[in-house]
Chains A and B, each alone.
Chain A
Amino acid sequence: MSRLIDVENLTLQFDTDEGRITAVDDVSFSLEAGEVMGLVGESGSGKSVTAKSLMKLNPRNAIYGENTKITLHLEDGPVDVMSLQNDREMKIVRGGSISLIFQEPMASFAPAISIGDQMVEQLLIHTNFSKAQAKEVSIEMLDRVGISDPSTRFGQYAFELSGGMRQRAMIAMALSTKPKLLIADEPTTALDVTIQAQVIDLMKDLVSEFGMGIIFITHDLGVIAQTADKVAVMYLGRLVEQGTVRDVIRRPAHPYTRGLIAALPTLDDIDAPLTPIPGDIPSPLERPPGCVYNTRCQEVVGSRCSTQVPAFYQVQPDHAAACHIYDPEGGTE
């Protein structure tokens, strides 16, 4: 496998009226071609913002950290995403080599423009196709994602399609330019469970077929377990654990990940009480010093948790957690 994207020290702040909010704090990860990475966390943990950073798609008041470096490795050589300036340069990460699927398929289609027109528009921006060719490719893609009667659907509007159909159309549109990286921001959250499974299967098929990388953003560990090769867990803008999906779910290392997994309802024992993580996610305006999770952590190992930001410690090969527990120099005194 070849390296697809490297994200190093991604830090992102928003300038707001209430002050500067840190949304993403020193996040680093990388992805190989053909690999599916799950990005997990509660709402407000910075997963979507992280994903949008890869396309420089955050609002105008976003300020990227100085050391932030995002490198996209393409066939023609590496692209330094942070250095992309104007719209022309940015095309490559916006719909060209990276595509983004949003949580709400209804809201992400323009209501008064037909689905086909939006697909053709994207193809005309990123390829040298003629209009007729773009239409042909779009209908073919609609057919590929399992939409019946694709040439009729092509002329229809988002409001005329069912939820699952819309998300399929969204996937067809996202993949029509043959991107190297697909970012799926909670693509199945707004769908019925039965449709969810269909859409996830479809995405998995298409990944292996197109050989691209996927960053799958979700708060649903069940979905991650089904789809991803590896997982990154985020809390309050920081990455707290990274590893292969099997390791992280079987043997979660960070107390937060453990809490997340314990909080999952189980169908095996419907009388079992739910064990939520106590407390609320702190406001990003009042980020706790030290480890960001220390205010809710049940495994605090001393004062350093609230004073010192933990480094990533390797707990197994390909599995690391940012927690003082794993400090080989006496974290658990």
Chain B
Amino acid sequence: MVQFLRFATIRAALAFFTLCLVSFIVFSLMELVPGDCAERYLAFKNSQGAQISIADIEAERVRLGLDRPYLERWTSWIFNAFQGEFGDSCILRLNINQLLGQKVWLSIGICLGSLFLAYLIAVPVGIIAATSRNPYLNNGLRIVSYLGLALPNFLLALMIMLFSTVFFGDSLTGLFSPEYRDAPWDWPKIKDFLGHVWLPVFILGWSATAFAIQTVRALMSDEISKLYVTAAAARGVSGRRLLMRYPARHALSPIINSLGFDLNRIFNELPIVALILTLTEAGSLLIEALARSNDQQLAGAIIFFLTGSIIAINFITDIALAIVDPRIRRSILG
């Protein structure tokens, strides 16, 4: 147990280090983009008719602390970030916590929901597909699976919106009905939210499911043909017990391994779907921050959350792997 805790601590420390590294890379990359936030902001003011001089820009830089070396700026930023304080967005002049609000949690929730949905379907279906001899079932699954892989998410989203608009007069966009948008969380709001959120979860889960079914099926077929399964059958283990305790049990570790990867994929797809469904979530805000305003503070904060959640799930899968797989467990515990 002590060794296990030590392992968990080391992994947690590594995860923390990775998080710092990623934020540092993002910070550095944004530093390389010409034009800083002070210039952007004053250029914006200039376009509104204000007269701007070089001195104004310099003053603005000092005000924003942009005159300090960027290593120093990054250090203080990361220090504050871990205390949950991300400063102000330089373009929007708003506190980032206020600006992001629940958006980050909504994004993470949608992604985790899609991932959960994907594996909820993929694990049983993949196992059945790997063990079934029925050609209709197998080919049917293959077609559905390829459709899921081949059909871009945004197209699926557009199709569903079109269908729904034509037949039900509701475009199904957004995460909340207007009356609940700024309302505090209560039961009717949750119901309204669930009534909206199923669509992005479904769309993102769709291709993730197709992908996951292929993964589960391949892993299962792989395990089923291994000698230890035949050996177990030769000892009289049979039926569901043979299937679940042997190939399914042993396919579990690589499936756990693929979770982190799949979550990453879903995160990458979220902004496009969010754009089409006009979801107010963090992914689209990130694109805005990166593409339009070079808003280091905002982009940094969002990326901090996104990588944070990916690193968190990888940390969890690492721990889960160690629990599930004795080979990994023994390599840790010695």
Contacts and interface: CB of A to CB of B under 8 A. Distances in A.
Given A104-B227, A107-B227, A112-B250, A94 B327 contact: no
Contact of B326 (A100, A102, A125, A157): A157
Interface string B58-78: 000000000000000000000
List the 6 closest pairs (A to B, CB-CB), nearest first. Answer: A87-B238, A95-B236, A95-B235, A108-B231, A107-B227, A100-B234
B326 A108 contact: no
B232 interface: yes
Interface of B: 133, 226-239, 245-246, 249-250, 253, 324-327, 330
A96 B324 CA distance: 30
Contacts of B235: 94-95, 99, 118, 121-122, 125, 173
A197 interface: no
Contacts of B238: 87-88, 90-91, 94
Contact of B236 (A107, A111, A125): A125
Contacts of B253: 112
A60 B133 CA distance: 10
A108 B228 contact: yes
Interface in A114-145: 114, 118, 121-122, 125-126
Interface residues of A, number: 31
B234 A111 contact: no
Contacts of B226: 107
15 contacts: A55-B234, A60-B133, A88-B238, A94-B233, A95-B235, A99-B234, A100-B234, A107-B227, A107-B231, A110-B246, A112-B253, A113-B245, A114-B326, A121-B235, A125-B237
B236 A122 contact: yes
Interface in A43-76: 55, 57, 60
B277 to A, nearest CB: 42
A62 to B, nearest CB: 13
A96 B227 contact: no
Contacts of B250: 110-112
A112 B326 CA distance: 6
Contacts of B228: 107-111
Contact of A126 (B229, B231, B236): B236
Nearest to B249: A112
Nearest to B324: A112
A18 B227 CA distance: 24
A102 B228 CA distance: 10
Contacts of B326: 111-112, 114, 157
Given A87-B239, A112-B249, A57 B227 contact: no
A108 B227 contact: yes
Contacts of B227: 102, 104, 107-108
A101 to B, nearest CB: 9
A160 interface: yes
Contacts of A90: 236, 238
Does more than half of chain B's interface fall in helix, strand or loop, or is it mixed? helix
Contacts of B232: 110, 118
A125 B233 CA distance: 11
A159 interface: yes
Given A90-B238, A113-B249, 8 more contacts: A88-B238, A94-B238, A95-B236, A96-B236, A99-B235, A100-B231, A107-B231, A114-B326
A99 B234 CA distance: 7
Interface centre among B233, B234, B330 (most CB of A within 10 A): B234
Contacts of B327: 111-112, 157, 159
Contact of B237 (A108, A109, A121): A121
A271 B330 CA distance: 49
Nearest to B234: A100
A126 B236 CA distance: 8
A148 B298 CA distance: 63
B328 to A, nearest CB: 10
Contacts of B229: 110
Contacts of A88: 238
A176 to B, nearest CB: 10
A103 to B, nearest CB: 9
Nearest to B331: A159
B252 to A, nearest CB: 8
Contacts of A111: 228, 250, 326-327
Interface centre among B236, B237, B250 (most CB of A within 10 A): B236
A121 B253 CA distance: 22
Nearest to A60: B133
B237 A102 contact: no
A55 B327 CA distance: 31
Contacts of B231: 100, 102, 107-109
A117 to B, nearest CB: 9
A90 to B, nearest CB: 7
Contacts of A95: 234-237
A102 B235 CA distance: 12
Nearest to B247: A110
A112 B230 CA distance: 16
B234 A94 contact: yes
A121 B227 CA distance: 17
A310 B215 CA distance: 52
